[in-house]
Structure 1
Amino acid sequence: MLQRIMRGIALPALALAAMATSPAQAQEKARIEWKTLHSRAMEGNLEGNSADRGAYVVTPPGYDEHPDKHYPVVYFLHGYWATPQMYQDQMKFDEAVDEAARAGNEVIMVIPDGHSKLKGGFYSNSPTVGNYEAFVGEDLVKWVDANYRSIPKREARGLSGHSMGGYGTMRLGMKYPETFSSLYAMSACCLSPMKMDEAGAKKIEAMTAEDIAKADFGGLAQLSTLATWSPDPTKAPKYVDTGLKADGTMDPLVNAKLAANSILAMVPQYLPSLRQMEAISLEVGDKDFLLNDNVALNAELTRYGVAHGWETYDGDHGNRIAERIRTKLLPFFAQHLDRK
């Protein structure tokens, strides 16, 4: 009896010992994790957007088993009104990284949180909204390089995004040519100068906190862009300058500020940065409401001799983005990012 009891104890113990000494289970598929980092750039913004920012990090299959291997990184910026989680639900970034790895394109993919109280910080720098520009271009990149086996040089970093994220791709690419080497902008928004008129300014001035909470996409977008590109730290609680003067006329400086943040207006100022890029590609659906603006950006880059790819395809603003991340965006970076 005692021998049977001892055998019953010994066999599980031997099995546990064998498990403890066996190699770690292979990472057969890409792994996606939600991580939080502190961004000093985002501290102190008037809207109260958190300086503790989230990001999805997707590591390719085999990442765990090859501790000496380093990977290029593709950064992807999401659109307005959305969150990284909403994009993951539709885009399945882990599955896209899996498919890329099977095709020989092993990359780390990072999708940071560009959301704000007003649904998006446009990857810009504002005392009202916060410095989303430096959050991505500086703090996030440094954090990824410190915590993951990235290849820590510009030639191995690509920047991409959709809609507001397409805008951010072009903006940060121009502002941080020493950080990113290749750009892929999908259906970029906010390319042409925006204009605030008296009616729009009056509407925003009259918005209450309840109105803001109930506003739809179109009803909030103007306020959000003003908070980003026409901030006023003296005008609580919205902290925006609408440009509406006491006599009912508009201050032209507000529209000048909005225009100064349009990509079409920025291009001539940042030609040296754009010309440093290994590659730039633009794309937009032929039924996208942003088609004309993207056609204009293609023409402007062509006018100034900035080498870039350009494609229109059968689609609207969002219906083929998941597919094109797999068939166009990731293969683009496979061609242009360094592997060592």
Structure 2
Amino acid sequence: MSAQKRVIRQFAMAAVTALALLMVGGVSSSRAQVKTIVPPVIPGAKPVTVQHIKIHGTSLEGNLEGEAVDRDVIVFLPPGYFKHKHRHYPVVYALHGYSIGAEQWTHEIHVPQTIEGAFAQGAKPMIVVLPDSKTVYGGSMYSRSETTGDFEEFIAHDVVKYIDAHYRTIPDRQSRGLVGHSMGGYGALRIGMKYPQVFGALYVMSGCCLSARPAPDPNSPQEKAFDEAVAKLKSPAGAANFPFFWKAQLATAAAWSPDPKNPPLYLDLPVKNGVLQPDVVAKWTANAPLAFIDQYIDNLKKYRAISLDVGDHDGLRFDMRKVHQILDSYGIQNSFTIYYGTHTSAVADRFQNHVMPFFSHNLCFKKNCK
């Protein structure tokens, strides 16, 4: 057996679980002992206004996967928005994770209750926006791709431009915050690194997919079954009943290794016809923030504040700590918290009691920000 094959075999079993861990977060065996924390309703909290809208994604036009170009977006307007007609507000853009969309994200972070609770406890009035970036395979990875469309530009340009044009915002980077959880945490970090001219404060919650994934074993039964199943697909819709791990691989390939000349899926996978594709593995590695973060240090230095958090029962805590250490090594001020919880058990509590106060303290609430 060649040295290359021995290395691949060593990583084979790890690869099967690694992708799932990277996409939605790994937890320890004590997960059942960790209870989900939902903040109680705050007495006297004033209701926010919830609006369900559609935003046309110019950046998504012509995508090869047939993803919707008009995307669902949920907007939360603070109490008094319609009463104080001359007041303008900062905006927080909150990105959902893999396998869910904006509507499911509202249930995960328990909005509008947690937004109302944050305001009742002293957070300054803000607009909160939840854009939907779910795709046929479960997630866009908030990346640029001819196959899925340019979801980086959709979030940082199309959504922001629409919100600024239709709501009373403060259209300044210092008055825009970006936050995300899991795949959304990956998206917040990725987009945050590339668009400091758009956003002024950054919060990453349990970011997935931060480090490079091990190469799969082409000879493993799991990989062979997946390879054969993909070869039979006639369209992306044919993967509707695929297992979670298989869909996650397709979502990743559509985002990070698109191929306009490879119909009907228009993507390349790390294994093809039983043969490892090193070029595809390299593309996936190149999309890991821990592989490219050093290229964007100057951009990260432009943020007024950066915060990172992750649960102590979440397998993603190791990579999140690495991001924190890299920021520290470059002298970039940031806060890093490992709290008691799994990947999702405390997300609602964190959103109300940490995310919203963070932006309340670190965004500009004046029309003329300096």
Instruction: Assess same fold via TM > 0.5.
Output: yes
TM range (shorter): 0.7 to 0.9
Counterpart for residue 357 of structure 2: 331
Give 2:118's match in structure 1, choosing from 87, 91, 100: 100
Higher relative contact order (CA 8 A, sep 6+): 2
Shift of 1:144: 0.3
Name the CA distance, whole Å, in 2 between partners of 1:315 and 1:55: 29
Counterpart for residue 12 of structure 1: none
Which secondary structure does the structure 1 equivalent of 2:112 belong to?
Answer: helix
CA offsets per residue over residues 181-201 of structure 1, 9 Å max, x none? 110010000100124434276
Counterpart for residue 267 of structure 1: 293
CA offsets per residue over residues 292-315 of structure 1, 9 Å max, x none? 221222222222322211000100
Counterpart for residue 10 of structure 2: none
Query: Are 1:121 and 2:140 matched, yes or no?
Result: yes
Contiguous gaps of at least 5 residues in structure 1: 1-26
Shift of 1:98: 1.7
User: Does the 8 Å contact 1:28/1:62 carry over to 2?
Assistant: no
Counterpart for residue 210 of structure 2: 191
User: Does the 8 Å contact 1:100/1:106 carry over to 2?
Assistant: no
Distance 1:49 1:190, change over 3 A: same
The amino acid across from 1:286 in the alignment is D
Counterpart for residue 206 of structure 1: 228
Which secondary structure does the structure 2 equivalent of 1:301 belong to?
Answer: helix
User: Does the 8 Å contact 2:179/2:185 carry over to 1?
Assistant: yes
Counterpart for residue 242 of structure 1: 269
Name the CA distance, whole Å, in 2 between partners of 1:302 and 1:185: 15
Query: Are 1:60 and 2:82 matched, yes or no?
Result: no
Alignment of 1:245-256 (within 5 A): 248-256=274-282
Name the CA distance, whole Å, in 1 between partners of 2:223 and 2:281: 11
Name the CA distance, whole Å, in 2 between partners of 1:218 and 1:173: 27
Shift of 1:99: 2.1
Q: Which deviates more, 47-56 or 99-108?
A: 99-108
User: Does the 8 Å contact 2:53/2:74 carry over to 1?
Assistant: yes
Counterpart for residue 144 of structure 1: 163
Distance 1:107 1:260, change over 3 A: same
Aligned residues: 313
Percent pairwise identity:
40
Name the CA distance, whole Å, in 1 between partners of 2:110 and 2:168: 22
> Over the residues paired in the alignment, what is the CA RMSD in angstroms?
1.8
When normalised by structure 1's length, the TM-score is: 0.88
The amino acid across from 2:154 in the alignment is F
Counterpart for residue 309 of structure 1: 335
Counterpart for residue 131 of structure 1: 150
Contiguous gaps of at least 5 residues in structure 2: 1-44
Shift of 1:202: 4.6
Counterpart for residue 76 of structure 1: 94
Shift of 1:33: 1.2
Larger radius of gyration: 1
The amino acid across from 2:344 in the alignment is G
The amino acid across from 2:209 in the alignment is C
Name the CA distance, whole Å, in 2 between partners of 1:93 and 1:244: 41
Which secondary structure does the structure 2 equivalent of 1:121 belong to?
Answer: coil
Which secondary structure does the structure 1 equivalent of 2:240 belong to?
Answer: helix
